[in-house]
Amino acid sequence: MPQAIKHDLEKRDRGLVVILPECQGADLDTLPAFLWKMFPTMEARVSIERGTPVTRGNGLPASALIGVDGTLLWSGHPSSGAKQIDELTEVELKKMASGWGATPEAKKARQQLYGKRNLAEAKKLIAALADDNNEKAGLQLELATAFAWRAKAVQHLRDEGRLAEAKTMATALKKIASGVADWDAEVATLVAGFEGPEGQSEMTQAKKVDGVLARVRDKKMKVADAIKPMRAIAKAAAGTKAGERAEKLAAAFEAAPSAK
Amino acid sequence: MQTTLFIPLALGLALALPAQDGAPKVAEVGEVVAEFSFGAMLNGDGRTKISEFRGQPILLDFWGTH
């Protein structure tokens, strides 16, 4: 797990996704307290393992690397495969940046879609593919998925009270999907959700939550010392998603063994 | 027996058949991982299906709290 957390910190900005499935029966309600105790600087995704369909070594820990096209590239004990994981990850990140495909046109479309994250440009390139291009249907599906998850993410992040991240996602989506009639109205609605005095007031509180978290993650504040400021934000932002988030975080900090 | 077809990850064309019990087929190294959902996540952005991460490499690290 420490190695995976290191990968997340070092390579998430380049596109690596690190997911940490917990396999011993923990639940998402109690897990935050454990994580704030053991890994306060960690920001990687954590899930509850429920049958990930990849082969892997016996016992824990175990790792698996899935490539940009969905192929299982490596699996086994993380310490025995550290070098391979590093090398394969680098190959995949380069593949993500340059695109891939059976034809140069498909490769270029994926370069825009995944490397440059320019959905509008990718849409144009995919539309221009010949109808008998074997990858056209697959690319259309990939494009639709790439737009849909981003739009869904804006709402998800809002619902979690992570307003700054939600706004960043909405603003980015507006930029990368601009000029596509099918998407413009939906994106405009997402962006408009952050305007108005109420939205701005909640954003102010949400940013205060992010500020406290950043201090904990940068080791400038102990988890135990973050309880009081987080409770104060929860009180000030009561009745909002940002307030709910602050309250949950304060409760997790309080339950973290180090805080007692 | 109910048969479910999983939307492919590779090329958007290949089909992966589920195992007999309805669970997706377990991928070996070199095989495309069948569609599945991680369920709810901490620190996520709302993506839960493996197909929603297409275009990015994914490092899974299975661990336990005990």
pLDDT value at position B51? 96
pLDDT value at position A59? 86
In contact, A143 and A106? CB cutoff 8 Å:
no
Q: Which residues on chain B are in Cβ contact (under 8 Å) with A140?
A: 12
A1, A32, A52 ranked by CB distance to B42: nearest: A32
* Chain A from 79 to 98: CB within 8 A of any B CB: 85, 88-89, 92-93, 96
Residue A23 pLDDT more than 80? Answer: yes
Q: Per-residue DSSP letters for A26-57?
A: --TTTHHHHHHHH-TT--SEEEE-S---B---
Q: What residue type is A113 in one-letter code?
A: L
Classify residue A185 as exposed, middle or buried by CB count within 10 Å of its CB (0-12, 13-18, 19+): exposed
Inter-chain touch B51–A7, beta carbons under 8 Å: no
Helices A241-255 & A197-217, crossing angle to 10 degrees? 20
Kindly report the nearest CA distance between residue A91 and chain B, in angstroms.
10
The complex's ipTM works out to 0.94
A127 inside 8 A of chain B by CB: no
Residue A38 pLDDT more than 60? Answer: yes
pLDDT band, very low/low/confident/very high, at B4 (cuts 50, 70, 90): very low
Alpha helices for A218-259 (secondary structure H): 227-236, 241-255
Q: Which of A171, A173, A172, A156 is nearest to A241 (CA)?
A: A156
pLDDT value at position B16? 40
In contact, A54 and B26? CB cutoff 8 Å:
yes
Q: What residue type is A228 in one-letter code?
A: K
Kindly report the nearest CA distance between residue B20 and chain A, in angstroms.
14
pLDDT band, very low/low/confident/very high, at A56 (cuts 50, 70, 90): confident
pLDDT in tens, A85-143: 999 999 999 999 999 999 999 999 999 999 999 999 999 999 999 999 999 999 999 99
Q: Which residues on chain B are in Cβ contact (under 8 Å) with A14?
A: none
pLDDT value at position B24? 86
Q: By CA distance, what is A29's nearest residue in B?
A: B42
